[in-house]
Structure 1
């Protein structure tokens, strides 16, 4: 067969959505590198994805369907055929629909892949679940609060083109650590020569490369932004022309800004008053100023409100009208693809309920109208990723819950499955990816045959639909047909040939920027941007569980080399907080609250501000004595959209 190079795309939950090139020799993938022609990837992959072919070829990979033979949680399975697996699933689903109605079925999609065909963006299998009338899945775990807040202010969550950071003169990296999560942005940041400010309770890898680091208390970002606006307006540095022509509600918002004096802002945020004033003055005199805010900063009680306020800041200074100015949160709002044609909600026989991803424990243990009797876990590892790990496990342990997991590896969640179906990985199937950190569609061409009996997610649901006797023709569309339906209006053939295609962004703001939001008011929220304090006001330290440099959510959590490089689970404490607890550097500690506990090794460092403890997410419970940081996190909603509150979490830390 010789040696060929195949264009593909990284499917992982990262803003960069890299274009890659797979080298195939005699039918085997022997090399993987970033696509040098892609304007964002520029030939480079991250430390995690550089090992992706190790994952694909791992001896631990699931290759055949499995049936549970031990108790739930034991991880004991036997190999079965695809016919046996599909027959059992079809029989169980038919009985559940007859006894409880189809809404007792929950297709639980996660961010293991962001593909439009095989992953979360297109909800694979949704056509089949719609024909049945199953419950809908709300993917609330990641960015929904911030995206909703931006839409209240801007009419879109699209934001600025990240490539325009190369034009900025001042860049605020707000609650983001791109050198760990989405490092390709850093190239444009470096090209700018801008003054760089990291705003983060932790001095991260990125903070150390910036000109200035400001460390607010977690969850106080909106107050800090309002305090900066107070300084700007006090100097008369607002852009009156932009405000008059492109915004609504300025007089009311200006009154709100006056409430956040530097003194009050310092008291709320823990940031010294002089630092607030100095940064406000810098913003006031520097055009263009750009803000990069990522998903971590909105995972608290006031996360959606925080993004509303941040979007207002360039509205006051007029930066939205200047190339290199504005705010970048997620570019996904710019991708005008035909999602409706892909998921086909018109196939629903009647309206159905929606179940929230972040409320898994509640839904499995408390919902009874009807109860959830069948759970399909697709590209997700909720035991490792969901809040309130104990309740999630309790729900998954129900004997009367029929759980099917489509997976690559025997994750913590696989251990609770009744049937496990082996899924293809990215070099083995067709897919379309859209970055949320750039404006490119990326094509993924299959490069190699899948191992064993692995099937793509789309093919799995085609076969299951047939086994269920469903006759709707749309359930049997090929992957190529699905791609053409999704990309209607785009040049699919060019995309497939070149590997990527830049889309044209929409206007930001979409119309006039709403300092006063009628949409927010109709949804029961304050029409004016404000500061919403954290909900967890208990004693102890505020725990942040940020992204790891070596895992991506729980992907790569079983990779031996990446686990070795990540080292033991650690928790970083400020020296003052460690001393108050008689904790020394390297000590074994227990991190706990009323919800649960996990074990870690203490790192005593001034990288975290006083009052804050920092750890990383992504570890598997089976490698950490049965519990991870998510054992301590509340199954509670943020202010907008039902988002998660991973960083609105107080814990106590004590020596073990």
Structure 2
């Protein structure tokens, strides 16, 4: 006998999609979309349409293991949880005594986005007094730049774009990252509304837009400024709005007036006449909207660029009208629950050493001070997804570094583990989720017991806390009890739920708040902050990205077949995506004697990495683009795309994943 249960997608996407799982109570037999979910409404990505293939994969790690070969060799022997717990606790206690808590470094990111399973490791490491990880990866510069202008103001949700008269899809592969918004864009085009794509690589989104404007990577701020210059020169700005509901317009105006399309052409590679035409179209539109992705923000100037694009979205007063403004990911719904009840910052007695996640390589190889002696990875795969891969591997090869990895498959990070612990899938654990692309909150309770000896993040850290001798009651709870604690202490977003809504939520459901009030600026002054006196650069202006001496700008773009380094265990998705391809503009390829399908090597001062050439007009001139994250098992090479990425931090303390330069040559095999 089988039955259907609701559940929630736990991965790093804006929607926390609603799923239905067919189960016999022991195994998940099939996963499909939940038509009753208030946002996803029966539409899910191809990756989750056969989630059961990942859950039931024969390649899953099902028992704790100890390394028996060389580091990175991937040879392990099975051990018990008791043996693993004792070895970890003994090593941690020794390190705490001899080197202090700052010698223990945790690493995690977006392997799961649930409140409980993502944050529970913080309680354990706060109790240890270990290093704190600065989680400034992905889109954090975009969020910081937006907040520098808008404060806590909610931006548009995708459904509100139905009221937009013009949509600029800016640096966003919506098909790969926000699939629920695709019908909105298609409906807009059917209604005769223009959808314009601004991208450095348009490979997946170009067919869904009326026009594609290719831009040199890292120069989006110059385009935003030049568009404002044309709008101001033509008198299309909302002068009353900018003077009465914004701070710093007069101070910003000289920057705008000197930023002509001709100036921007030399920076962006976009012809001045195209910039002028786009600006006029935007300025004359009744309710223009910018659908803003994140790729533009992964540069040294990422936060500044986010500020400039956000200001552009308000320059014509569009925020005053339904459908006008900016659709990003800052919806500021809730708060629904207090994640501090999970993370327990009160367990930390003294401030810990701060390590930026973008600098893991340097942290693991620094032997001059604060030497890291233990590295604990959960909910992440940094060897595949964090910059300066070669340096990180060099650190992981240290014989005096004790590495623990909690994983489901033998990832490139897991290869370097001394102790490898088996992890669960979302249907095998209990959690709750706040979407970052919508104003929704969901509960996803465990549907089946974990396979083999797998443990959730929560159960693993409670087990290790016991092994360490921690006495706090927090570590003696079950994850179900933690969920009940969160729901029993609701924050603002849950205070006014009806009995039916509470019943729905507790039964693996989702509740949704109404759209935010976008014309009510939630800033200290109640006004939009064109000039922000709290910042090092109060007045927005164009800043160059880091760049470098090599001729081609290297970028990573999302792929609809995989998500970061997740789903690489699925042969069907890996096969459909194809080999690790380096996309090159035809003129750049011709200059190097490179043709479609050629084996090529990309290099800079950090590393050399092998790819297959893909020659396409869908990348900007002077750009080399890689789609998605691969693994060494797929490519057959140890070094991957992220080996070419520097650890440099952006103006908002975030990743500069796309701010690197390379050259490329044809490889003779």
Shared fold by TM > 0.5?
yes
Aligned to 1:182: 178
3-state SS of 1:518 partner? coil
Task: Give the deviation of 1:272 after TM superposition.
Answer: 0.7
Correspondence for 1:517: 532
Preserved contact between residue 597 and residue 629 of structure 1 (Cα < 8 Å): no
SS of equivalent to 1:225: helix
1:607-633 Cα deviation digits (max 9, x unpaired)? 112111221131002322112111111
Q: How many angstroms does 1:505 deviate by?
A: 5.9
| Per-residue deviation, 1:105 | 1.3
Partner residue of 1:142? 138
Alpha-carbon distance in structure 2 between the residues aligned to 1:415 and 1:441: 36
Quote the offset at 1:203 in angstroms: 2.3
1:332 CA drift (Å): 5.8
* Secondary structure, counterpart of 1:71 in structure 2: coil
Aligned residue for 1:152?
A: 148
Q: Aligned equivalents of 1:595 and 1:158: distance in 2?
A: 40
**How far did 1:287 drift?**
2.1
Bigger Cα displacement from structure 2, 92-101 vs 32-41: 32-41
Q: Give the Å deviation of 1:367.
A: 6.3
1:284-337 Cα deviation digits (max 9, x unpaired) = 111211111122111111111111111111222111222211112213643413
Equivalences for residues 443-462 of structure 1 within 5 A: 443-462=443-462
Q: How far off its partner does 1:365 sit? A: 1.1
8 A Cα contact 1:558 1:620, kept in partner: no
Corresponding residue for residue 218 of structure 1: 217
Candidates 620, 637, 645, aligned match of 2:649: 637
Aligned runs of 1:243-254 on 2, under 5 Å? 243-254=242-253
- Partner Cα separation in structure 2 for residue 190 and residue 585 of structure 1: 31
Q: Is residue 442–residue 509 contact of structure 2 (8 Å, CA) maintained in 1?
A: yes
Q: Please tell me whether the aligned partners of residues 167 and 288 of structure 2 are also in contact (alpha carbons under 8 angstroms).
A: yes
> What's the counterpart of residue 322 of structure 1?
321
Structure 2 gaps of 5+ residues are none
Is 2:431 the counterpart of 1:421? no
Q: Does the CA contact (< 8 Å) of 1:158 and 1:329 recur in 2?
A: no
Report the secondary structure of 2:176's partner residue.
coil
Checking the alignment, whether the CA contact within 8 Å between 2:550 and 2:604 is kept in structure 1 is no
- Cα deviation code 1:327-364 (max 9, x no counterpart): 12213643413122221111211122211111001111
* Paired residues for 1:449-598 under 5 Å: 449-487=449-487, 488-489=490-491, 490=494, 491=497, 493-497=503-507, 499-504=509-514, 507-508=517-518, 509-510=521-522, 511-520=526-535, 525-598=536-609
Give the conservation status (yes or no) of the 8 Å contact 2:411–2:631: yes
Q: Match of 2:639?
A: 627
8 A Cα contact 1:132 1:348, kept in partner: yes
Shifted more, 22-31 versus 107-116: the winner is: 22-31
State the TM-score, normalized to the length of structure 2: 0.94
SS in 2 for 1:117: helix
Check 1:26–1:429 CA distance in 2 against 1; reply closer, same or farther (3 A cut): closer
Q: Match of 2:362?
A: 362
Task: State how far apart, in whole Å, the 2-side matches of 1:205 and 1:295 are.
Answer: 16
In the alignment, structure 1 residue 303 sits paired with structure 2 residue 302: yes
Residues 161 and 331 of structure 1 are in contact (CA less than 8 Å); yes or no, is this contact kept in structure 2?
Answer: no
**Contact residue 332 and residue 434 of structure 1 kept, 8 A:** no
After TM superposition, give the deviation of residue 368 of structure 1 in Å: 5.0
Mapped to 2, the partners of 1:26 and 1:381 lie a distance apart of 30
Residues 370, 26 of structure 1: CA spacing in aligned structure 2 closer, same or farther, 3 A cutoff?
closer
Among 165, 187, 194, the residue aligned to 2:161: 165
* Gap regions ≥5 residues in structure 1: none
Deviates most, 606-615 or 500-509: 500-509
Q: Call closer, same or farther: CA 1:457–1:332 in 2, change over 3 Å.
A: farther
TM-score (norm 1): 0.96
In the aligned structure 2, how far is the partner of 1:503 from the partner of 1:477? 30
Q: 1: distance between equivalents of 2:532 and 2:319?
A: 18
SS in 2 for 1:590: strand
- Helix, strand or coil at the partner of 2:96: helix
Does the residue aligned with 2:393 lie in a helix, a strand or coil? Answer: helix
Equivalent positions of 1:32-111 (< 5 A) are 32-111=31-110
Summarize the Cα distance change of 1:329–1:486 in structure 2 as closer, same or farther, 3 Å threshold. Answer: farther
Given that residues 158 and 328 in structure 1 are in contact (C-alpha distance below 8 angstroms), is that contact kept between their aligned partners in structure 2? no
Return the offset for 1:493. 4.3
Secondary structure at the counterpart of residue 624 of structure 2: strand
Q: Counterpart of 1:265?
A: 264
Summarize the Cα distance change of 1:257–1:539 in structure 2 as closer, same or farther, 3 Å threshold.
same
Counterpart contact for 1:150–1:156, Cα < 8 Å: no
SS where residue 626 of structure 2 aligns?
strand
SS of the equivalent of 1:421 reads strand
- How many residues were matched structurally? 647
CA contact (8 A) 2:431 2:444 kept: yes
Which residue of 2 is the match for residue 24 of structure 1? 23
Provide the C-alpha distance between the structure 2 equivalents of 1:438 and 1:140, rounded to a whole number of angstroms: 21
CA contact (8 A) 1:34 1:45 kept: yes
Structure 1 contact 300–648 (Cα < 8 Å) conserved: yes
Distance 2:153 2:422 in 1: 35
Within 2, Cα distance between the matches of 1:530 and 1:394? Answer: 39
Give RMSD over aligned pairs: 1.6
* Distance change (3 Å), C-alpha of 1:436 and 1:234: same
Maintained 8 Å contact 1:584/1:602: yes
Q: Partners of 1:332 and 1:476 in 2: how far apart?
A: 35
